[in-house]
Structure 1
Amino acid sequence: MSPPPSPSPAAPAASVPPRLLVVDDEPDLCTLYELALLREGCDVETASCVEEAWGLLQARRFDAVITDMRLPDGNGLELLRRLEQAGRPEKTLVITAYGSAENAVQALKAGAFDYLTKPVDLRQFRSVVASALGRVPAPPKAAAAAAPAGAAAAALQRLSGQSAAMRQVREMIGKVARGMAPVLVHGESGTGKELVARAVHQVSHRAAQPFIAVNCGAIPEHLLEAEFFGHRKGAFTGASEDREGFFQAAAGGTLFLDEIGELPLAMQSKLLRAIQERAVRPVGAVGETALDVRIVSATHRDLEAEVRAGRFRQDLFYRLNVIQLRVPPLRERLDDLPLLCGAVLARIAAESGLVAPPRLTPAALARLATHDFPGNVRELENLLHRAVALSGGGVIDADDLGLGDCGGPAAVAGPLAGTADEAAAVPVRAGEAPLPCDLMAHLDEVEREVLVRALALHRGNRTAAGAAIGLTLRQMRYRMSRLGVQAAGDGGDEGEEGGA
């Protein structure tokens, strides 16, 4: 009989209702919010001004604070600042007047978890409060609680580097992950914007929920609405069944919109409405479906310039650009090269089944440090994949990198950025090859050399040669055809049947 009583003390603790503080000087609205929250099983206290609210906060702890922006003795931002300075854990929801996007952005940057606009939709109100309290549809609590720690560490570890720029990125991720504010990740192609977006998700309370990544530039324009919002059976030709869109798939989690600047204006308008209303209407449906989704977007474009040119909606830009997180290009953090190379080579070794990761000689590392990396980390990964294939394994020397004597920072910043005449005017040291005037032709020649050497190493077997340099058989065929490379040897092509 002794075992049954032991769980009983824990039961009441688990059923303690969340305690919320509502701050609003309009009695009718205060009562409306209070009744809505009481129906959700919350313990609610109210205040009508900043000082009264602060007195209640000093007396006890709350799970969340819901405050109007305009109060008789100040505004909600004052309460936010006091909570931040005191290091209080309460999540804050701010209610702003309709159309005052500037106030909403200001509140989110000050640390608010989320905001609502008047007149408040009670369905949306309950959804946002549930999100702040962690009441999103999830696996059992034990699993949901355990997921963030390990996953967050793994996500941050993939952001290799100890440079000041990368430390700042990781610090920003920790800050922005706490709320619901939309995040715009900005950086050149190949800098790792999706890795940063995944880290924001994994460090947040949504880590156990879906992370859905969408390349906005890869979807045909006529399919955008159905892909984003889903569709109903019979909505259009070929819609043979109901289908969820990206928003529904990301419910409770994070929707990552990569290359957001590629969206056409018509779709931008529909996306803006979905973000504002926190609801989507599938194609062919009559009603909208409320969804709790955090938006993280990314672009390599200058969206402010796109807005000025009329190619991107200003109101959507303000909605997405609440918090901007810049990912530095590789040339701004060359101090991270040894760590980055070590991480990439370890991953290549694991994927290729190598006993130990290949290592770079000091000469190879020095050669990499002189390269400008216009393709950033993605270029480094491709370069190391190729070097592993050409070096044959254990040690990668400078010659295995295939960089030649061009492509360093000085070359890219100077002659390669100018005209052919300017490039020709650059003095060439004794024994040094001149810089290529036709960059594409030079890159094609480098690629042709890699293909020829890989095929020679694998005796003409295109499947094996492609696998060694990270290409499928289809990709090998395409590149060989484009560059006029012939497969010579007696190796055959394993698995070639049906490969096309």
Structure 2
Amino acid sequence: MNAAVQTTARALIVDDEADIRELLEITLGRMGIETVAVSDLASARRTFDAQPFDLCLTDMRLPDGEGIALVRHINDRSPACPVAVITAYGSAEAAVASLKAGAFDFVSKPIDVAGLRTLVAQALKLAGLDHDAPPHPSLDVSPRLVGQTEAMAALRRTIAKLARSQAPVYVTGESGTGKELVARMIHAEGPRVNGAFVPVNCGAIPAELMESEFFGYLRGAFTGATRDTAGLFARADGGTLFLDEIADLPMSMQVKLLRAIQERSIRPVGATMETAVDVRIVSASHRDLSVEVARGRFREDLYYRLNVIEVKVPPLRDRIADIPMLAERILAGLARKMRLERAPVLSDDARSALMDYNFPGNIRELENILERAVTLAESPVIERGYLRLYSPLAEAAAANPADALVDESTDLESQLEALERERIQSALEACRYNKTKAAQRLGITFRALRYRLAKLGME
């Protein structure tokens, strides 16, 4: 019996196969969980409505309907009750459909008892029935999104809902909008909070090292492998693996990642046996994955496996009213970092300038602008000039709106050069002056970026 599980926990088991019902009852019984088992959808609905349950395990295929119907029934009446769906082996479509319907997780047949116990333990943590677990973090100590606009309020509500599920989440948004922070909040507010949150930038790993980085390797697997080394999946076991810039994965690695997600197991380089892992996947990209799929650069089956639930992070220009609050938080952090006696403040003119700016680099660009301004400012009050929001094209547009698109007083070469300079500067600021990432953001090679920097005198 698992001492960490409260003996009063109750589970509803729904399956038309007697041997499966018996296996589930025995497994949960040994964990100290009281069970009630039924064999069809109608009985499950009546039983659930008649008495309280902390967990439900239901087969996908029932004699009188689909298990997804029960998932929706329970979510409507008791959204705090986690529901796990039992699917046929290899039925990825059914698993994804159940997660989209609101299932907590899924179990594949034949049922792996160890994996089932892990799933049940996670579900009961979510239901607050694991007494040995530390208190659930509040928003005062977990990662937090700053802002009071409706866009941010909606995003927080979505995060709170997703945190209760184990479904893969795909976070979309422009560079610098805070996609990793969203992933961290999903992790921090869910039952995996005591596990590791492992972030990885898929575009920063050399292609030849990807398999060993993701899955680990054994000593002697290749030259230089002097000891067994755990990969990203193993380090995230029991927690969350955040795959940032997932669109940068090469095709060969996409195949291996798909298998690891579907089978919930990995094979380290040099190993002959697979190892089970319990990892929730959250992925992100500033590129449109559906477009990458259409262009043949991203596997369609992996796309649908990752994009079970999509979360869109709004750009900063769509929540201008949050800029003063964001700026205040960033300036307070800079004061601590620079050991200033008091946090700098924005003048009214500087604040207005920020709220009029378009922020192509989003929050990351705001951070860079304010850090530069604090460094340059000679007093705790930051004036507009220290922000350096100058843009050649923007200035031309402001001076003559009718000719904003085409300035016939300037030759074409100069206009193109000004536009190129602005784009490169924005990319560099958004990528914290990492030239490799800036080149990727601009869609050019690193060598091409170096050439353009030298040509424009920007090095």
Query: Do these two structures clear the TM 0.5 threshold for a shared fold by scoring above it?
Result: yes
Q: Distance in 1 between matches of 2:421 and 2:297?
A: 33
The equivalent position to 2:316 in structure 1, one of 311, 324, 330, is 330
The equivalent position to 1:424 in structure 2, one of 407, 422, 426, is 407
Aligned position for 1:467? none
Change (3 A) 1:445 1:209: closer
- Determine if contact 1:17/1:43 at 8 Å carries over to the other structure: yes
SS in 1 for 2:134: helix
Q: Which moved more, 1:402-411 or 1:182-191?
A: 402-411
Q: What percent identity do the matched residue pairs reach?
A: 48
Aligned position for 1:130? 121
Gaps (5+ residues) in structure 1? 1-11, 428-433, 448-477, 487-500
Aligned position for 2:418? 438
Aligned position for 1:80? 71
Q: Within the alignment, does 1:153 sit opposite 2:140 as a pair?
A: yes
Aligned position for 2:160? 174
Q: Distance in 2 between matches of 1:395 and 1:402?
A: 15
Which amino acid in the other structure matches residue 72 of structure 2?
A: R
Aligned position for 2:369? 383
Q: Deviations over 1:187-213 (max 9, x none)?
A: 111111111111111111211221110
Q: Within the alignment, does 1:279 sit opposite 2:279 as a pair?
A: no
Q: Distance in 2 between matches of 1:409 and 1:68?
A: 63
Q: Within the alignment, does 1:31 sit opposite 2:29 as a pair?
A: no
- Determine if contact 2:142/2:188 at 8 Å carries over to the other structure: yes
Report the alpha carbon displacement of residue 128 of structure 1 after superposing the two structures with TM: 2.3
- Determine if contact 2:393/2:404 at 8 Å carries over to the other structure: no
Report the alpha carbon displacement of residue 179 of structure 1 after superposing the two structures with TM: 1.1
Aligned position for 2:193? 207
The equivalent position to 1:392 in structure 2, one of 378, 381, 394, is 378
Q: Distance in 2 between matches of 1:409 and 1:204?
A: 47
TM-score, with length taken from structure 2: 0.84
Change (3 A) 1:192 1:18: same
Aligned position for 1:198? 184
- Determine if contact 2:6/2:32 at 8 Å carries over to the other structure: no
Q: Within the alignment, does 1:299 sit opposite 2:285 as a pair?
A: yes
Aligned position for 1:44? 35
Q: Deviations over 1:404-438 (max 9, x none)?
A: 365659959x99xxxx99442499xxxxxx98842
- Determine if contact 1:156/1:170 at 8 Å carries over to the other structure: no
Report the alpha carbon displacement of residue 82 of structure 1 after superposing the two structures with TM: 1.9
Report the alpha carbon displacement of residue 359 of structure 1 after superposing the two structures with TM: 0.9
Q: Distance in 1 between matches of 2:166 and 2:426?
A: 46
Q: Distance in 2 between matches of 1:162 and 1:247?
A: 36
SS in 2 for 1:372: coil
Q: Within the alignment, does 1:371 sit opposite 2:357 as a pair?
A: yes
Q: Within the alignment, does 1:163 sit opposite 2:149 as a pair?
A: yes
TM-score, with length taken from structure 1: 0.77
Q: Within the alignment, does 1:112 sit opposite 2:103 as a pair?
A: yes
Q: Within the alignment, does 1:359 sit opposite 2:345 as a pair?
A: yes
Report the alpha carbon displacement of residue 129 of structure 1 after superposing the two structures with TM: 2.5
Q: Distance in 1 between matches of 2:41 and 2:287?
A: 42
Equivalent pairs counted in the alignment come to 424
- Determine if contact 1:371/1:408 at 8 Å carries over to the other structure: no
- Determine if contact 2:217/2:231 at 8 Å carries over to the other structure: yes
- Determine if contact 1:402/1:446 at 8 Å carries over to the other structure: no
Report the alpha carbon displacement of residue 485 of structure 1 after superposing the two structures with TM: 11
- Determine if contact 2:7/2:32 at 8 Å carries over to the other structure: no
Which amino acid in the other structure matches residue 249 of structure 1?
A: R
